[in-house]
Structure 1
Amino acid sequence: MKFSFFLLVFTTTLFAQADYPKNYFCPPLDIPLQLSGNFGELRPNHFHAGFDLKTLQKEGLNVYAVADGYVSRIKISTFGNGKTIYIDHPNGFTSVYGHLQKATDSIESFIKKTHYKEKSFEIEMYFKPNEMPVKKGQLIAVSGNTGASEGPHLHFEFRDTKTEKIINPMFFGFDALMKDTKKPIVSNLYAYPLDSKTTVNHSQRPIPINLSLQKDGTYLADRVIANGKIGFGIIAYDYDDVSFNKNGVFDVNLSCNGKSIFGYQFNTYSFDEMRYVNALIDYSLYKKSSQRIQKLFMNPPYNLSIIKTDETNGIITVLPNLTSVCSLNVSDYYGNKTAISIPVEYDLLSTIIEKEAIVANYVVKASKDCFFEKDKCSVFFPAGTFYNDFNLNFDVKNNVLTVHDDTVPAHTNFTITMESDSYPTDLKDKVFIGRIEGGRVSYNTTREKNNVYETRVKTLGQYKLALDTIAPVIRIAKSIEGKRLDNQKRLQVSISDSLSGIKSYNGYLNGKWILMEYDNKTGLLTHDFSDGIVVDGDNELKVVVVDSVGNSSIFETHFQRNQKQ
């Protein structure tokens, strides 16, 4: 009886919708809203947390508070969302504005004072309700391209203030501000054999299934002939009427013989769930081909809240004398739907395409702690590090530790240790365990004790001990030594580090700390003379840059300036 009730609820309404206010919030921009990225879009190691709103391919557009409330948090970072403002609203939601060029008026003034108080470009501030109130439609910032942005735009989010779960902005009436009459596109359908004895259309590997457009606008898949357990996967995306770029789909539902067996909807989820994007997609294929196949099954299950399934977890068992018809519906938020019918039949076909050979000498059980050691190198995987059991390639050759490769995703950190007495005491703090990729070595925070070096990482691959004794490089595009800079509004230097990477940077004018904003995409440090530190006459500039293992560089010069110009 309990199962029947569950099935009834599951098949009649796959996802319950919360009651969100539709007319409470205004747009954050005063131009027509166009998306360059939507909520739930599949990104590297995460689902997209909001809207990316186009800003006419430029910076400097006005950004407005979408409702009354107060600025609850401001974060300035060189990565992620860059310069970001958070506003808590009295109805229990928080709006988030990211990649900003700068804030405005009293908000920007407070940020600037905090930079100088903490003597740091990267800062984070939290506020009480009465400290920084804002009104609906108030200008709070101008749009930019800061942080990890790949071009000028506004990143915009809604969150539940108490739980901090992120929520699709469409639920708040933003669907009325855009137009989408186009059906999602399912560009590829794949069938997956899910046990060692199963073949699908003569293949023991995932195999594409051809789709044919029918007169009624639906699609019919070629017959899937299999034996044993199988699953399906899709490559799907959506266009709206004005943006002309690929966005993610909103709702996916797979049924078998009229029974819903697997589905998900990009409605709301927590930041803790973000990395499950690597379980949802065929991660191995993604790393090899950059294609993201969304799997419509869980083998084994994982705790991503947007997924709704029955006891099969989307896995279809193809049995003799049983013909099945699977139905796949892929929808956008506006209800535009692409429907695919998939006939499934049983037959014992010969294997033409065999399983892909994997170089491996150990087995990792995802549900258990696993420890492997060789030649003074080791790796420890706590239980739950991975989504699936897998065959591990673990080896040490020529002082390089191979811990499989990055075709298997890790959900949490694991520990690598490497022992060596090759480095003198005065250089041990310059040594780190680096990951080798494409001929380069990337830095990982490393601890050393009694010649044993240890790091915690989330990526499989090749690792080795690396020594960094080279200081960062500081350059200025054109020498300002002794020159007059009366007409310049700002001062710029470029910084770089070839191995362990930049850890800190500080600038000084006439012995006073100055704010130098760092853009990690260009490597530029920028000081705005309007901060008021520069003086009439001679000015002494000093820039100090330190890398992640403590190597430092100092750049010094002087210039003239007439403030009255």
Structure 2
Amino acid sequence: MMKYFVFFLLFSVSVFAQTAYPKDYFSPPLDIPMELSGNFGELRPNHFHAGFDFKTLQREGLAVHAVADGYVSRIKISTFGNGKAIYITHPNGYTSVYCHLQKTTDAIDDYIQKAHYKEQSFEIELFLKLNELMVKKGQTIALTGNTGSSEGPHLHFEFRDSKTEKIINPLLFGFDKYIKDTKKPTVSAVYVYPLDDKTSVNKSKRPLLLSLSLQKDGTYLSNKVLANGKIGFGITAVDYDNVSGNRNGAYKIQSYLNGKPNFGYQFDTYSFDEMRYVNALVDYSKYKKTYQRVQKLFMSNPYKLSIIKTDDSNGIVTVVPNLTSVYRIEVSDFFGNINTISIPIGFDSSAPIVEKEAMVSNYFVKVNKDNSFAKDNVSVFFPAGTFYEDFDMNFDVRNSVLYLHDDSVPVHSRFEIAMESDKFTDVQKEKVFIADVDSKGRVGYNFTSVKGNVYSANVRSLGKYTLAIDTTAPTISIANSIEGKWISTQKNLQFSIYDSGSGIKSYNGYLNGNWILFEYDNKTRKLTHNFSDGIVAEGANDLKVVLMDNVGNSTIFETHFFRSQK
């Protein structure tokens, strides 16, 4: 066994230097045909999709197999995000990731169960050594589920570079042979943007939707763009394969100006640090207003998304007199199906008919500088790089409420809000937090520190903020009382929990004075203890469940029941 470990490590080091991806090394993780409900690089809220979402017949409990020999290198169980997830590191330098699992199996499950009880927590993250949990190709390692932030039963699957942790498109590993796709990507909209105050496009200073006409050769031709300055283009595109019927993201988009590459990107590999740049890539304001994701083919202010390849103009087209141009967009999938749009461009100095949309603002934020704003007892500090582009910002404080522009402007990194108030006692201060307030008046919790009478929080979105106090304890309930009853036939204990203020921070159960594992499903707000853990005693049992919210309010639920294990 030790010889295998040494070979594993030596082989891993040698493979890291290679650039070609192995095409026949990995097998599919499921027994059923591979059908996608989400593909690599698909545009998602605040991130690019990091892998494949495999359909699982709209149900849970399908066997998940290791795609190659390796060892379980990481286990993460969370109530949000990927839910129950396991990572398998393979000797060829790559790691496979399996997420939203219902449960793991055999030795892996035993290992996780012991870790839950050792750490006395449902949410755990474990990093394993090479020789702890070895797996073989095709071995059943888990069952598919719907845990974490999953919106329906499926398997989220990823490949990562074990050394750099960059995520990699599974199609590059030969998974394309399991998917049939002869369909061109679909382009539903092309927009042209005037990029400065002096420029107009087709006599408009606002972004315009272009008309497209299908040509005999299968390409599209746009109506002519007449402009007099700097312009950029954006596109809304999706891709379909022959089987799944789901709208997926386009693999590659490339623009050309007079035949020369102008701006483009394709989704092969990128790092998790780059995920949030999806908000710079799309027309974020339009997305927030209409839920339409227009992918911009230019950068007004360059940002560090590694997949983007551009010329010196960063995709911006400068329209000048006496010169006509042809702008071409090619949208393609991994299988070589291409959709092409040609856009003729000419110069026009006519006065605009449609003026730029009026923006009432009282401040201007420059992205590459620190920005500080203060009024009354409220201050906001934006470090340089908080945003993607300069913009006109509204900032106001009325009746102790901070009005910080609105969420139509994306935020890349956290910024600080500080609010001073002397209306709370020392006891109340422990229950006070800076809350974000949505359009329906609902408050959201932000971790808040207090020093004297000043409360501060680091947040990541613009909008409305205020100080809120939460003195209400969480609630817990059980559908059918077990007080003093024999429940020998029940497989589990299940409770509903809820907190209307700052939100649930922790939950702990104790059976006869010993900590027991309760799994939490945030979608249903259910706490579940499975008697298969073997902690329950024969006969009488005393149960206590303790809930705590984010500001320290707690609730204790106590009961007793009887159970026979025979």
Measured against the shorter chain, the TM-score band is: over 0.9
Aligned 1:353-364 pairs, distance under 5 A? 353-364=354-365
CA distance in 1, matches of 2:437, 2:364: 23
Query: Which digits, 9 at most, give the CA deviation of each residue in 1:373-398, with x for residues without a partner?
Result: 10010000001111111111011001
Q: CA deviation at 1:266?
A: 0.5
Give the equivalent residue in structure 2 for 1:554. Answer: 556
Give the equivalent residue in structure 1 for 2:283. Answer: 282
Give the equivalent residue in structure 2 for 1:457. Answer: 459
CA distance in 1, matches of 2:344, 2:547: 63
Q: CA deviation at 1:483?
A: 2.1
CA distance in 2, matches of 1:74, 1:321: 63
Q: CA deviation at 1:555?
A: 1.0
Q: CA deviation at 1:478?
A: 1.8
Query: Which digits, 9 at most, give the CA deviation of each residue in 1:133-190, with x for residues without a partner?
Result: 1111111111100000000000000000000000000000000011111100010000
Give the equivalent residue in structure 2 for 1:505. Answer: 507
Query: Which digits, 9 at most, give the CA deviation of each residue in 1:76-124, with x for residues without a partner?
Result: 1111100000011111000000000111000000100110111000001
CA distance in 2, matches of 1:259, 1:455: 48
Give the equivalent residue in structure 2 for 1:127. Answer: 128
CA distance in 1, matches of 2:204, 2:551: 50
Q: CA deviation at 1:536?
A: 2.1
CA distance in 1, matches of 2:347, 2:405: 36
Check if 1:490 corresponds to 2:492. yes
Aligned-partner SS, 1:488? coil
Check if 1:339 corresponds to 2:307. no
Give the equivalent residue in structure 2 for 1:533. Answer: 535
CA distance in 2, matches of 1:539, 1:392: 60
Give the equivalent residue in structure 2 for 1:10. Answer: none
Aligned-partner SS, 2:466? strand
Aligned-partner SS, 1:405? coil
Check if 1:206 corresponds to 2:237. no
Aligned-partner SS, 1:426? helix
Give the equivalent residue in structure 1 for 2:198. Answer: 197
Give the equivalent residue in structure 2 for 1:84. Answer: 85
Query: Which digits, 9 at most, give the CA deviation of each residue in 1:473-519, with x for residues without a partner?
Result: 10111222222212111110011111111100001111111100000
Check if 1:231 corresponds to 2:248. no
Q: CA deviation at 1:270?
A: 0.3
CA distance in 1, matches of 2:559, 2:242: 54
Residue identity in the other structure for 2:245: F
CA distance in 1, matches of 2:543, 2:381: 48
Residue identity in the other structure for 2:408: T
Residue identity in the other structure for 1:117: K
CA distance in 2, matches of 1:55, 1:322: 55
Give the equivalent residue in structure 1 for 2:352. Answer: 351
Q: CA deviation at 1:364?
A: 0.7
CA distance in 2, matches of 1:42, 1:538: 54
Aligned-partner SS, 2:430? helix
CA distance in 2, matches of 1:110, 1:512: 20
Give the equivalent residue in structure 2 for 1:376. Answer: 377
Residue identity in the other structure for 1:215: K
Q: CA deviation at 1:456?
A: 0.3
Give the equivalent residue in structure 2 for 1:320. Answer: 321
CA distance in 2, matches of 1:359, 1:450: 36
Q: CA deviation at 1:246?
A: 0.3
Residue identity in the other structure for 1:502: I
Check if 1:308 corresponds to 2:314. no
User: Which of 442, 445, 450 lines up with 1:443 in the alignment?
Assistant: 445
CA distance in 2, matches of 1:350, 1:141: 65
CA distance in 2, matches of 1:359, 1:91: 57
Aligned-partner SS, 2:322? coil
CA distance in 2, matches of 1:179, 1:354: 48
CA distance in 2, matches of 1:353, 1:332: 37
Give the equivalent residue in structure 1 for 2:140. Answer: 139
Give the equivalent residue in structure 2 for 1:59. Answer: 60
Residue identity in the other structure for 1:424: T
Give the equivalent residue in structure 2 for 1:269. Answer: 270
Check if 1:43 corresponds to 2:47. no
Q: CA deviation at 1:353?
A: 2.4
Aligned-partner SS, 2:26? coil
Structure 2: tracts of 5 or more residues without a match: 1-17
Q: CA deviation at 1:352?
A: 2.7
Q: CA deviation at 1:356?
A: 1.8
Q: CA deviation at 1:18?
A: 4.2
Query: Which digits, 9 at most, give the CA deviation of each residue in 1:48-81, with x for residues without a partner?
Result: 0000000100000000110111000000111110
CA distance in 2, matches of 1:106, 1:428: 47
CA distance in 2, matches of 1:101, 1:289: 35
Aligned-partner SS, 2:172? helix
Give the equivalent residue in structure 2 for 1:11. Answer: none
Give the equivalent residue in structure 1 for 2:14. Answer: none
Structure 1: tracts of 5 or more residues without a match: 1-16
CA distance in 1, matches of 2:234, 2:541: 63
CA distance in 2, matches of 1:71, 1:536: 36
CA distance in 1, matches of 2:557, 2:204: 62
Check if 1:519 corresponds to 2:521. yes
CA distance in 2, matches of 1:549, 1:319: 60
Residue identity in the other structure for 1:441: V
Query: Which digits, 9 at most, give the CA deviation of each residue in 1:191-226, with x for residues without a partner?
Result: 000010111122211110011111111101111111
Aligned-partner SS, 2:237? strand
Query: Which digits, 9 at most, give the CA deviation of each residue in 1:397-438, with x for residues without a partner?
Result: 011011111111111110000000010001101000000102
Query: When the two structures are superposed, what TM-score results if normalisation uses the length of structure 1?
Result: 0.96
The aligned length equals 548
CA distance in 1, matches of 2:82, 2:229: 46
CA distance in 2, matches of 1:237, 1:504: 41
CA distance in 1, matches of 2:486, 2:205: 72
Check if 1:400 corresponds to 2:401. yes
Give the equivalent residue in structure 1 for 2:115. Answer: 114
CA distance in 2, matches of 1:508, 1:457: 35
CA distance in 2, matches of 1:437, 1:474: 26
Give the equivalent residue in structure 2 for 1:177. Answer: 178
Identical positions, percent? 68
CA distance in 1, matches of 2:471, 2:353: 54
Residue identity in the other structure for 1:512: N
Give the equivalent residue in structure 2 for 1:386. Answer: 387
Q: CA deviation at 1:360?
A: 1.0
CA distance in 2, matches of 1:358, 1:105: 61
Residue identity in the other structure for 1:310: D
Give the equivalent residue in structure 2 for 1:479. Answer: 481
CA distance in 2, matches of 1:80, 1:69: 25
Aligned-partner SS, 1:292? coil
Give the equivalent residue in structure 2 for 1:14. Answer: none
Aligned 1:150-165 pairs, distance under 5 A? 150-165=151-166
CA distance in 1, matches of 2:343, 2:415: 41
Residue identity in the other structure for 1:246: R
CA distance in 2, matches of 1:522, 1:272: 31
Give the equivalent residue in structure 1 for 2:411. Answer: 410
CA distance in 2, matches of 1:549, 1:358: 39
Give the equivalent residue in structure 2 for 1:545. Answer: 547
